[in-house]
Amino acid sequence: MIHSDETLSGQTGQYRWLATARYVLHDLLEACPEAVLGKCLVVSSFDSGPLVPTPTELEKGWLVHGRLAVMPRVAAIGELPHDLYDEWYIFASPTMPEIVGTFVNYGGFTLRPLSVAEEFERARNSVGGMVDLKMIQQEADKQQGLIDSFWAQMERVRPESYISDGDNLIFASSDSKLFERVGTALGAS
């Protein structure tokens, strides 16, 4: 669980990542437009479902690839459709990846495994002595399964960066300089 004033960060394989509840996708785009400008954007979730480009968006270059919407080259941040519960994969060059899993819609999804001990203590302090340790362990196992599936998909698809905006804003990137710029822009590094 991420508390509203905290930013979590880490590294998994070639990707550095951060997760925070303090910011939303719009904040990231305003602070660091180079995260997507000039790159290929693949939208796997828009407001919890697929993005269906409008006729105007199709005229501007959006493509449909299964349940994914693809902008081969982002020219302007202001023209990108975004809402809550969006999930984006960013590539250095145009591509049509096979992205099967969507993670932004899982409540509280983050990239840090849930600590059973921390959650047990937090729950015990908030509700008193009656805490279901088995339920906390089940939630931790579910979160770890999601994290494992997420990283397996990232390894298979290999985007330059990943952005999701649900209960938490998550940014992951294999570009360490871009990661530093985003972290600095969001006050997270």
pLDDT for the residue numbered 116: 53
- If one compares 88 and 105, the residue with the highest pLDDT of the two is 88
pLDDT for the residue numbered 110: 86
Percentages (nearest 5) of helix, strand, coil residues in the chain: 35, 25, 45
Domain ranges (residues) in the chain: 7-110+159-185
pTM (predicted TM-score)? 0.87
Q: What are 44-81's pLDDT values in tens digits?
A: 999 999 999 999 999 999 999 999 999 999 999 998 99
Residues present in the chain in total: 189
Helix runs in 16-132, H state only: 25-31, 55-59, 116-127
pLDDT for the residue numbered 107: 81
